[in-house]
């Protein structure tokens, strides 16, 4: 039966691989005219992917908004070889193959493989930007080529075909990145870069690879960039974009929202400018209190988070620019995606961290298999507590629900992987400041959640469960076999892993039941003795 399923999936993949070039050629011939046919083809993929609504929802959104229609056409009309590779790798491997291998991985190993692995091959950088945490890391550790290759090879065995490369500055290691991207042509690579090392030669090599896209980190306006990064950097970024534009490459930007650049990032003119430079996608990050001496005054206020999230949702519907915010868009992916639920991060020393901002680790890729890290009690405990709260607009275990990160690190002796990270666990002043921030976030963002996300709350009611999305995924993949029975089976192979699952569940239920700040949707208020007696006497 499994063999038959695999054969079916393999023929679907083969169809996508073969069909990608044809689809891209077809739409590029006359994008406006062929848009609707293209949509029909993509709608039909939902059947191919088991009618889970994955493609339907996204395609409906693309079809129904003026901005996203143009955005999609812009994307599909970039350099044909790169677009074909994107369609092939994204649909065939990052989606279909991932789903197929994910089923086997859940059954066999008890976790759903992440969708993407983030890797920082170096923490060295040619710039020294204000507020960047890269400097807190050791600068003499670089992941060698063999380790980079090992990460991708093991990742692919688990179904991971999407690799995000950051740092430090990835283009300081471009030779090695080029080697692995060429070797693993069935994967997608996204490079977060300051852009200053992209010259004609590098642009030609990127053009040759096809499966690599660049996301340029942008601070704000020219003045902001001079202040944060120094003279000449802004111009170099524009030059690098021009080189990629000349080669019709797909590229994006990454932004960090701070309390200080909020007005700039909220301006349509600012985003329009980058759109005009040929940018088609963007990631927004919040300034996080990590690194040696984080300036907490730079953290965007909860109100700024809400307003910015709403602003970019409107913007991407109206304009051809797909901008995403990890925090404000978290409801779409059911909260925090760390600890392997959707991603994990491997730093330049090989330490495997739950997330790019959570600099703690119990495993190192140089002396373990990826499976060991994904089954580690540290990661498992975090996953069992996802989402960390009922309100998916406050997803984060670092700034919104700090007790989760603290508890996981304490229980499993996770070691800090950069100078200063331990302050998040032991510095009373910093911890109190983050607690205050998290309480304020709850006060400001919870009413927004209750007012605007009733459809999400309703679906939580329907599931009779607000927490444990990790568990839901596993149960779903196991065709809802009794979860506890399955844990017993995994416990035979890895008792510590199974123990962490149970501990995680126990901690999660206890916390939901007792923390009034969480405004739990499901836990009934605890009745007083008097109330109980009154009930009995009725
Ligand atoms: S810990 Fe925070 S920053 Fe990291 S994945 Fe979760 S929500 Fe995002």
Burial of 398: CB neighbours in 10 Å, binned 0-12, 13-18, 19+: buried
Task: Identify the three-state secondary structure at position 393.
Answer: coil
Which residue did the predictor score with more confidence, 526 or 118?
118
H, E, C per residue of 223-281: HHHHHHHCCCHHHHHHHHHHHHHHCCCCEEEEEEECCCCHHHHCCHHHHHHHHHCCCCE
Tell me the average pLDDT across 365-374: 97
Q: Which helix (H) or strand (E) holds 205?
A: helix 200-209
Distance CA 403, CA 434 (A): 10
Angle at which helix 428-452 crosses helix 454-463, to 10 degrees, equals: 90
Atom of ligand 1 minimally distant from the CA of 335: 7
From the CA atom positions of the chain, what is the Rg in Å?
23
- Ligand 1 pocket mutation, candidates 336, 403, 404, 405, criterion most atoms within 8 A of CB: 336
Distance CA 175, CA 305 (A): 38
Q: Which helix (H) or strand (E) holds 172?
A: none
- Work out whether the CA dihedral 306, 431, 339, 166 comes out positive or negative: positive
Beta bridge partners of 214: 191, 251
Strand ranges inside 47-127, DSSP E: 116-122
Ramachandran class of 372: left when φ > 0, alpha when ψ lies in -120 to 50, beta otherwise: alpha
Identify the weakest region by mean pLDDT among 27-36, 53-62, 242-251.
53-62
Distance CA 148, CA 154 (A): 10
- In the chain, what are the domain boundaries? 2-101, 116-328, 352-511
Compute the distance from residue 125 Cα to the ligand 1 centre, in Å.
24
Q: Would you state the structure tokens that stand for residue 43, as one six-digit string?
A: 């709608």
- Ligand 1 pocket mutation, candidates 340, 395, 401, criterion most atoms within 8 A of CB: 395
Distance CA 75, CA 223 (A): 30
Query: Each residue of 16-57: pLDDT tens digit?
Result: 667 778 888 888 888 888 888 877 777 776 666 665 666 677
Q: What is the pLDDT of residue 52?
A: 61
Tell me the average pLDDT across 297-305: 96
Residue nearest to atom 4 of ligand 1 (CA): 355
Does CATH place domain 116-328 in 3.20.20.70? yes
Atom of ligand 1 minimally distant from the CA of 326: 8
- Ligand 1 pocket mutation, candidates 334, 360, 397, criterion most atoms within 8 A of CB: 397
Ligand 1 shell residues, CB under 6 Å? 326, 336-338, 355, 357-358, 395-398
Q: What is the pLDDT of residue 461?
A: 65
For residues 91 and 133, the answer to whether their CB atoms sit within 8 Å is no
Q: What is the pLDDT of residue 31?
A: 83
Distance CA 20, CA 254 (A): 28
- Residue 208 per-residue DSSP state: H
Compute the distance from residue 525 Cα to the ligand 1 centre, in Å.
29
- Work out whether the CA dihedral 300, 304, 305, 308 comes out positive or negative: negative
Distance CA 216, CA 273 (A): 14
Query: Each residue of 258-297: pLDDT tens digit?
Result: 999 999 999 999 999 999 999 999 999 999 999 888 899 9
Distance CA 187, CA 184 (A): 6
Beta bridge partners of 358: 355
Q: What is the pLDDT of residue 272?
A: 94
Burial of 263: CB neighbours in 10 Å, binned 0-12, 13-18, 19+: exposed
pLDDT tier at 299, thresholds 50, 70, 90:
very high
Atom of ligand 1 minimally distant from the CA of 400: 2
pLDDT tier at 519, thresholds 50, 70, 90:
very low
Tell me the average pLDDT across 451-471: 66
Q: What distances in angstroms separate CA 452 from CA 48, 318, 448, one per listed residue? A: 33, 20, 6
Q: What distances in angstroms separate CA 168 from CA 8, 345, 418, one per listed residue? A: 42, 13, 13
Q: Which helix (H) or strand (E) holds 324?
A: strand 322-325
Distance CA 414, CA 124 (A): 24
> If we measure between CA atoms, which residue out of 201, 118, 2, 186 comes closest to residue 370?
118
Compute the distance from residue 470 Cα to the ligand 1 centre, in Å.
15
Atom of ligand 1 minimally distant from the CA of 285: 3
Tell me the average pLDDT across 171-200: 97
pLDDT tier at 476, thresholds 50, 70, 90:
very low
For residues 237 and 216, the answer to whether their CB atoms sit within 8 Å is yes
Tell me the average pLDDT across 153-178: 96
DSSP per-residue letters across 414-443:
PEESSTTTTHHHH-HHHHHHHHHHHHHHHH
Compute the distance from residue 297 Cα to the ligand 1 centre, in Å.
20
Task: Identify the three-state secondary structure at position 363.
Answer: strand
Instruction: Report whether pLDDT(522) > 70.
Output: no
pLDDT tier at 5, thresholds 50, 70, 90:
low
For residues 150 and 197, the answer to whether their CB atoms sit within 8 Å is no
Q: What distances in angstroms separate CA 188 from CA 162, 181, 368, 514, 521, one per listed residue? A: 5, 8, 24, 43, 39
Residue 48 sits at φ, ψ, to 5 deg, of -60, -35
Q: Would you state the structure tokens that stand for residue 205, as one six-digit string?
A: 């090599």
Q: What is the pLDDT of residue 131?
A: 67
Task: Identify the three-state secondary structure at position 351.
Answer: strand
Q: Would you state the structure tokens that stand for residue 327, as one six-digit string?
A: 């925090």
Q: What is the pLDDT of residue 289?
A: 93
Compute the distance from residue 409 Cα to the ligand 1 centre, in Å.
15
For residues 343 and 328, the answer to whether their CB atoms sit within 8 Å is no
Distance CA 303, CA 308 (A): 9
Compute the distance from residue 42 Cα to the ligand 1 centre, in Å.
31
């Amino acid at each position: 039966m499994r063999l038959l399923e695999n054969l079916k999936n393999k023929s679907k993949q083969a169809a996508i691989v073969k069909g990608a070039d044809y689809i891209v050629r077809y739409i590029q011939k006359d994008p406006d005219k062929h848009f609707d046919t293209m949509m029909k083809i993509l709608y039909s993929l939902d059947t191919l992917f088991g009618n889970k609504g994955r493609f339907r929802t996204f395609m409906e959104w693309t079809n129904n908004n003026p901005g996203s229609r143009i955005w999609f056409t812009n994307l599909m009309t970039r350099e044909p070889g790169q677009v074909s590779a994107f369609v092939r790798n994204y649909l065939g491997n990052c989606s279909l193959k991932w789903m197929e291998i994910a089923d086997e991985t859940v059954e066999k190993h008890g976790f759903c493989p992440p969708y993407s692995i983030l890797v920082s091959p170096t923490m060295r950088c040619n710039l020294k930007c204000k507020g960047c945490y890269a400097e807190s890391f050791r600068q003499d550790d670089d992941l060698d080529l063999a380790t980079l290759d090992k990460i991708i090879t093991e990742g692919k065995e688990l179904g991971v075909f999407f690799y995000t490369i950051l740092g430090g500055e990835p283009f300081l290691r471009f030779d090695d990145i080029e080697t692995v991207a060429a070797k693993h042509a069935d994967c997608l690579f996204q490079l977060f870069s300051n852009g200053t090392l992209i010259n004609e030669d590098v642009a030609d090599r990127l053009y040759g690879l096809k499966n690599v896209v660049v996301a340029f980190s942008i601070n704000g306006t020219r003045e902001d960039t001079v202040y944060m990064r120094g003279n000449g950097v802004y111009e170099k970024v524009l030059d690098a974009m021009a080189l990629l534009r000349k080669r019709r490459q797909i590229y994006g930007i990454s932004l960090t929202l701070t309390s200080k650049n909020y007005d700039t990032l909220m301006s349509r003119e600012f985003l329009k400018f980058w759109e005009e430079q040929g940018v088609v996608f963007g990631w927004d990050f919040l300034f996080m209190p990590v690194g040696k001496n984080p300036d907490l005054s730079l953290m965007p206020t909860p109100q700024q988070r809400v307003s910015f999230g709403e602003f970019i949702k409107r913007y991407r519907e109206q304009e051809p620019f797909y901008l995403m915010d990890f925090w404000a868009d978290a409801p779409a992916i059911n909260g925090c995606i760390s600890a392997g639920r959707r991603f994990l991060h491997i730093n330049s020393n090989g330490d495997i961290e739950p997330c790019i901002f959570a600099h703690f680790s119990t495993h190192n890729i140089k002396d373990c298999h990826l499976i060991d890290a994904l089954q580690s009690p540290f990661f498992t405990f975090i996953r069992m507590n996802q989402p960390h709260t009922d309100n998916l607009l406050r997803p984060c275990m670092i700034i919104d629900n700090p007790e989760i990160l603290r508890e996981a690190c304490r229980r499993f002796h996770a070691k800090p992987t950069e100078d200063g990270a331990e302050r998040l666990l032991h510095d009373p002043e910093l911890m109190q400041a983050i607690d205050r921030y998290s309480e304020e976030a709850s006060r400001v963002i919870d009413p927004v959640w209750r007012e605007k996300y009733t459809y999400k709350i309703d679906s939580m009611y329907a599931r009779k469960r607000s927490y444990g999305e990790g568990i839901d995924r596993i149960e779903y993949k196991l065709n809802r076999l009794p979860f506890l029975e399955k844990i017993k089976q995994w416990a035979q192979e890895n008792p510590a892993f199974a123990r962490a699952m149970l501990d995680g569940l126990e901690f999660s239920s206890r916390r939901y039941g007792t923390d009034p700040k969480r405004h739990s949707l499901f836990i009934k208020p605890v009745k007083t003795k008097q109330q109980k007696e009154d009930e009995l006497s009725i």
